[in-house]
């Protein structure tokens, strides 16, 4: 299960990493018919280059990237290549079908085939959002009753463009006159992969231990689909704007290791509903 956690975190890093956005810049676009377009190079995504001609103050002109043989720029742009390499720098004249690119760090020009460029100044990725809380409390009572208690609860949700990672941990401990009367722990990790804006697939792993219920380790691994019924900004009202609601169903495998009783394993069904409703100014309703 430790390896699964590392995989989840690695996937999250892949989802939130990516090329940064550069501002548009002046330059020349060389086309297959021998003509050149002088103006502002904005971006190229999905095989379409958008540029503003110096003689036209209107909307950007779409140009099929397959018709471009080269670029020359006066300022820095971002080039993304088919092999995943991202270059920041300026483009210079080269042989037809080739861009001589000088990066911001190394001023030596690097030849790049036009056909290997898949994006120019791609849109900036959405920021990663973090949400969580940590609660800890403890008490010590001495006298006719000697009681020691400690409790911990922590939750963290990390949301990227297509992935959402949720972590939850809980620990409880108490002693009465030197004898342990409570000792248990619970942990849950869940990864959501958004295939559309609202529909996602999830996988989750639950771990639980309870000394006084004879549970050495309870494990549950689940997988299934989920749907984000309500997202932030779905409502214009300030009282509903930050509401979030999602639901999930799925199948899983359940395993219980007992210290004394016989161990057991079986297949399970799972459903869940999660509501988070921050109500201004300082109240949050959640389920």
pLDDT value, residue 10:
46
User: Which of 15-24, 74-83, 150-159, 234-243 is predicted least confidently?
Assistant: 15-24
pLDDT reported for residue 23: 61
d(CA 71, CA 79): 11
For 11, the 3-state DSSP assignment is helix
pLDDT in tens, 34-71: 888 888 888 898 899 998 887 777 778 899 999 999 99
Determine the average pLDDT of the residues in 198-211: 95
CA distances from 193 to 184, 198, 220 (A): 31, 10, 19
* Residue 174 CA, distance from chain mean position: 38
Is the pLDDT confidence value at 258 over 80?
yes
Q: Which region among 83-92, 174-183, 206-215 has the lowest average model confidence (pLDDT)? A: 83-92
Cα–Cα distance measured from residue 272 to residue 204, given in angstroms and rounded to the nearest whole number: 12
- What are the pLDDT digits (tens) for 154-187? 999 999 889 999 999 999 999 998 899 999 999 9
Token pair 């495998």: residue: 253
Residue among 186, 170, 164 nearest 248 (CA): 164
Most confident of 11-20, 25-34, 134-143: 134-143
* Beta strand ranges found along the chain (DSSP E): 25-31, 36-45, 48-53, 61-64, 68-73, 77-81, 86-92, 98-103, 110-113, 117-120, 129-141, 147-159, 163-176, 179-194, 199-210, 215-230, 244-258, 264-279, 283-286
Question: pTM for the full model?
Answer: 0.59
Q: In the predicted model, what is the mean pLDDT of residues 3-27?
A: 51
Q: Which residues are CB-contacts of 35 (< 8 A; sequence separation ≥ 6)? A: none
Q: Confidence band (pLDDT; 50, 70, 90) for 135?
A: very high
List the domain boundaries for the chain. 2-12+127-286, 19-120
The whole-number average pLDDT for the span 134-140 is: 95
User: Which residues have a Cβ under 8 Å from the Cβ of 208 and sit 6 or more positions away?
Assistant: 184, 185, 186, 187, 215, 217, 218, 219
Mean pLDDT value of segment 1-20: 44
Torsion of CA 39, 27, 40, 69, to 10 degrees: 90
Residues facing residue 98 across a β-bridge: 113
- Residue 283 CA to residue 81 CA, distance in Å, equals 48
């Amino acid at each position: 299960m430790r390896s699964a956690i590392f995989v989840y975190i690695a996937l999250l890093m892949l989802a939130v990493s990516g090329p940064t956005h550069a501002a548009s810049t002046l330059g020349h676009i060389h086309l297959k018919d021998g003509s050149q377009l002088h103006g502002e190079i904005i971006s190229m995504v999905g095989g379409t280059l958008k540029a503003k001609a110096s003689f036209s103050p209107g909307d950007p002109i779409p140009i099929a990237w397959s018709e471009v043989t080269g670029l020359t720029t006066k300022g820095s742009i971002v080039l993304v290549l088919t092999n995943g390499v991202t270059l920041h720098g300026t483009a210079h004249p080269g042989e037809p079908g080739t861009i001589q690119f000088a990066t911001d760090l190394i001023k030596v020009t690097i030849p790049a085939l036009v056909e290997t460029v898949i994006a120019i100044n791609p849109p900036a990725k959405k920021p990663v959002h973090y949400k969580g809380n940590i609660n800890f409390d403890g008490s010590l009572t001495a006298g006719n009753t000697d009681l020691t208690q400690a409790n911990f609860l922590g939750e963290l949700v990390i949301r990227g463009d297509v992935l959402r990672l949720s972590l939850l941990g809980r620990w409880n401990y108490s002693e009465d006159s030197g004898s342990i009367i409570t000792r248990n722990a619970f942990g849950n990790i869940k990864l959501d992969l958004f295939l559309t804006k609202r529909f996602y697939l999830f996988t989750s792993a639950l771990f639980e231990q309870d000394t006084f219920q004879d549970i050495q380790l309870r494990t549950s691994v689940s997988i299934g689909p989920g749907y984000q019924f309500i997202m932030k900004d779905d409502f214009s009202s300030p009282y509903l704007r930050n509401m979030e609601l999602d639901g999930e169903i799925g199948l899983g495998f359940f395993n219980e290791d007992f210290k004394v009783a016989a161990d057991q394993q079986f297949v399970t069904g799972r459903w869940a509903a999660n509501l988070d409703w921050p109500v201004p100014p300082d109240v949050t309703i959640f389920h």
